[in-house]
Every structure is written in C-alpha cells, then in structure tokens.
Amino acid sequence: MAAQNGKVYVVMMMADAGADLHAENAQGETPLDVAARYKNGDVASFLLNADRSIISSTRSLREAAKAGQGAIVRLLLDMGMDVGACDGDTKDTALHEAVRYLKVEVAEILLGYVCCSCELLPSPTPPLSLLTACSPE
C-alpha cells in the first residue's frame, strides 16, 4: 500500500524494520512493480537503491511503459534492468507495451536502449505491427 500511495518514508521505515522488498502481493506484484504502475518514481528509486537485486523484477518495466512513465522507465534501465526482458506468458517486452498503449515517448526511450537487435524482441508480434494495428487510419 505504501508503494502504491507513494509514501517513501513508510517504505523506508518498513525496509529498516526488515520488510522483504521481494515480497509479492496476491496479484504477484512486488513493491517495485506497484511503484512503477502507480507512477511513484521516488518509491521506485528508493527501492532500487535499497536492494539492487530487485532489478530482476522486470514486470515493473512493462508496467511503467504501459503507464507512459518515461522517467521511471529511464530510471529502471539506468539501474540495469534488461530492456529486452519479456513477459513469461505473452513474450511481450516493455517496447511492445509502450506501442500497444500508444506511449510514443516511452517507446522512443526504450528504442534508445535497444542495441539494433531484433533478438531483444522475442515476441511473435513485432512492435511495428502493433502500432499499425492500433493507429487510426
């Protein structure tokens, strides 16, 4: 709840008290995932600085991309999150989500981190196909 509401000081106190920053809620989301989805960059920044190993929770990158949060996307990538990380079920990357939800600024940020390799986009649906399907004619 503190990650959702952007209460950095509460998240700090919980971390100091030994809270598990990798804990998942009923939906399988970590505090970092929740902070990214609810556009709480300060909470995301604190969590990443408190425990660098939470960078493995790549769902947060897709959540931030869907929400159009360029600053959080950039923060996650600068801290070492894999731009090509994909959803285990859909195989979609953050770039797919940005294009699907027409978050052009975020898509441009993500493309800046892609090393000109389509191998980073393992989904069977290329982002350009998504953009073409979603754009009005």
Kindly give the confidence (pLDDT) of every residue in the chain, 137 residues in length, as a single tens digit, with 9 standing for 90 and above.
678 877 799 999 999 999 999 999 999 899 999 999 898 999 999 999 999 898 887 899 999 999 999 999 999 999 999 998 888 888 899 999 999 999 999 999 999 887 544 444 445 555 555 554 444 44
pLDDT of residue 88: 86
Q: Tell me how far apart the alpha carbons of residues 20 and 91 are, in angstroms, rounded to a whole number.
A: 28
> Is residue 78 within 8 Å of 113, Cβ to Cβ?
no
Predicted confidence at residue 131, as pLDDT, reads 52
In order of start, what are the domains of the chain with their CATH numbers?
Answer: 2-134 (1.25.40.20)
pTM metric for this prediction = 0.79
**CA 55 – CA 131 distance, rounded (Å):** 28
Count how many residues are written for the chain. 137
